[in-house]
Chains A and B, each alone.
Chain A
Amino acid sequence: MENYGLINQLAQYLITGITVGSIYAIVGIGFNIIYNATEIINFAQGEFVMLGGLVMVTLVHTVHLPMPLAFLITIAIVTLVGLLMERLAIFPLKETSVMRLVIMTIALSILIKGLAMFVWGKNSFALKPFSGDTPLSLLGASIVPQTLWIIGITVLLVVLLSLFFGRTIIGKAMSACADNLEAASLVGINAQRMVMLSFMLSAGLGAVAGMIITPMALMEYDRGAMLALKGFGACILGGLGNFYGAVVAGILLGLIESYGAGLISSGYKDALALGALLLVLFIKPSGLLGSAEASKLKKF
């Protein structure tokens, strides 16, 4: 009986880890998309997630829109924020160094956080789960349906994005801009538009992450920084710029946190995740799936 309880718990931690890790993975991918198109590390990435959650809460619980519609409108609104951010703050500085642009994104994250506090206040908001909250039982662990939404949507996003970057000419053109901006403009690619697109795509992704996590974890105006940090960890751990790396590393971080909190103490979970990150970087500076070749060419 004793053993059975332990296995149950381990299964529970596994599911929690994968769920949280999925969010880190999406945020990590968001970092990578912008990095790949511009070499900018966008520290406002977490604000997209926060906005996604809070806008969704307002649309569902205050405006009373049906969930699917609210979902789409939230994506549209946050994508627009990403677009405005690029047009108003990044594009005008295009002649400057990447480092300055990175600092600009930090400033923007503070600004967006401030605006969010102004609009939503300091409270945490709840969002009703996408399909009820009657737990399902799996491997002896009980799972709330929202968990399945999170994992399912993460998988769907990864598939869609790999099709986009692997199969479409626009996706290839975005990679080409990252590789060699001059050569990209010589074949007729509008590099400015690709940068714009990368910000919109990252913002939209962030919004989705925010909407799917809020029913489980609530959302408040200042959650962005923490999410950005974890997502950035996933992105570095997986190898900066590497798509699948971010997914693997995000889920790994989630698992370390979840098992760390469950088996040792919840006070140590961040330290354990950070420790794992540092350990990997000591052993393999280019990250889990990053290639040493490619990382030589990188600015960060």
Chain B
Amino acid sequence: MLEVTNLKAYYGGIQALKGVNLSIKEGGIVTIIGANGAGKTTLLKSISGLIRSKEGRIVFQDQEITKFLPRQIVSLGIALAPEGRQVFASLSVEDNLNLGAYLYYRRKNRSKIRTLKEEVFELFPVLKERLSQLAGTLSGGEQQMLSIARAMMVRPKLLILDEPSMGLAPLFVLEIFKVLERLNQRGTTILLVEQNARAALRVAQYGYVLETGIVILEGQAHKLLVNEKIKKAYLGD
């Protein structure tokens, strides 16, 4: 579904990705783990088109999207829930969700938007209670949920999440992972970046380990979970 080949990305003179290869098959959950500063966010931003300064090849469903703009990429069905609660703070929860479905508004598909909202409320009932509250006044955890919900409003084929559990209480983290599994069962392919490597590897089928801009290890998630090196470096055993 998504093929990333030899991807390099730069911030000015600094090279943050040094030739990353990644392959995601339709229907699964894939996770990327790695230490702070490894380049995980950079990789996700490159795929979504937010980072323009890059080399290599990104192909989505047989179409090369390396040079596409974020809005072109999202319209192909790749949605990113970015790192750190990037909600539209001065707008209401409802407007945030509506803007998630911006492309459907452009296509005047109102009934689609209604069904999408119902689905989102089913997964995040809190949001329904807070529809008219300004997003900037939500609690951190609620903002995180809104940010994920907004990406779901795109009804993407591939949903990319950058540390969705960040700042959430343990119970909420479990909740989010359940939501992701449910979404996946309904047919959404998921690419997940997580600090909580154990939880991520449990829910995923396949995993990549990123270190200073390159993939140093990849494999089936259940095998990575018992890999000695990973246990030491990322699972705290």
Contact B71 A176 (CB under 8 A): no
Stretch at the interface among A11-19, A177-185, A212-220, A264-272: A177-185
Q: A186-B79, A188-B71 are in contact. Are A180 and B87 (CB under 8 A)?
A: yes
The answer for the CA separation of A188 and B71 in the assembled complex, in Å, is 4
Contact bitstring B165-191, A, C-beta under 8 A = 1, else 0 = 000000000000000000000000000
The answer for the CA separation of A292 and B145 in the assembled complex, in Å, is 26
The answer for the CA separation of A178 and B90 in the assembled complex, in Å, is 9
A-contacting residues, B74-91, CB 8 Å: 74-75, 79-80, 82, 86-91
Contact B95 A172 (CB under 8 A): yes
Q: How far is the CB of A193 from chain B (nearest CB, A)?
A: 10
Interface centre among A173, A180, A188 (most CB of B within 10 A): A188
Contact A189 B102 (CB under 8 A): yes
| B213: interface (CB < 8 Å) | no
Interface centre among A169, A183, A189 (most CB of B within 10 A): A183
Q: How far is the CB of A106 from chain B (nearest CB, A)?
A: 28
Contact B86 A175 (CB under 8 A): no
Contact B102 A169 (CB under 8 A): yes
The answer for the CA separation of A178 and B70 in the assembled complex, in Å, is 17
Interface centre among B49, B91, B153 (most CB of A within 10 A): B91
Q: A169-B105, A187-B100, A187-B102 are in contact. Are A179 and B88 (CB under 8 A)?
A: yes
Contact B99 A187 (CB under 8 A): yes
Residue of B49, B75, B88, B106 touching A183 (CB-CB under 8 A)? B88
Residue of B48, B80, B88 touching A176 (CB-CB under 8 A)? B88
Chain B residue nearest to A183 (CB atoms) is: B86
| A294: interface (CB < 8 Å) | yes
The answer for the CA separation of A290 and B105 in the assembled complex, in Å, is 31
| A123: interface (CB < 8 Å) | no
Contact B91 A189 (CB under 8 A): no
Chain B residue nearest to A190 (CB atoms) is: B71
Q: A185-B50, A186-B48, A187-B74 are in contact. Are A169 and B98 (CB under 8 A)?
A: yes
The answer for the CA separation of A175 and B48 in the assembled complex, in Å, is 22
Q: Which residues of B contact A183 (CB under 8 A)?
A: 82, 86-88, 150
The answer for the CA separation of A293 and B134 in the assembled complex, in Å, is 12
B-contacting residues, A187-224, CB 8 Å: 187-190
Contact A175 B90 (CB under 8 A): yes
Q: Which residues of B contact A176 (CB under 8 A)?
A: 88, 91, 99
Contact A173 B71 (CB under 8 A): no
Residue of A172, A173, A188, A294 touching B74 (CB-CB under 8 A)? A188
Q: Which residues of A contact B48 (CB under 8 A)?
A: 186
The answer for the CA separation of A189 and B71 in the assembled complex, in Å, is 6
B-contacting residues, A108-136, CB 8 Å: none
Q: Which residues of A contact B99 (CB under 8 A)?
A: 169, 172-173, 176, 184, 187, 189
Residue of A169, A178, A186, A189 touching B80 (CB-CB under 8 A)? A186
B-contacting residues, A265-300, CB 8 Å: 293-294, 297
Q: Which residues of B contact A297 (CB under 8 A)?
A: 89
Q: Which residues of A contact B158 (CB under 8 A)?
A: none
Contact A182 B82 (CB under 8 A): yes
Contact B74 A186 (CB under 8 A): yes
Q: A186-B50, A189-B71 are in contact. Are A172 and B89 (CB under 8 A)?
A: no
Can you name 20 A-B pairs with beta carbons within 8 Å? Answer: A169-B99, A169-B105, A172-B91, A172-B98, A173-B102, A176-B88, A178-B90, A180-B86, A183-B150, A184-B88, A185-B49, A186-B48, A186-B79, A186-B151, A187-B103, A187-B150, A188-B102, A189-B71, A189-B99, A190-B71
Q: Which 10 A-B pairs have the closest CB atoms?
A: A185-B70, A183-B86, A179-B88, A169-B105, A188-B103, A188-B71, A188-B74, A176-B88, A187-B102, A188-B102
Interface positions of A (Cβ within 8 A of B) = 169, 172-173, 175-176, 178-180, 182-190, 293-294, 297
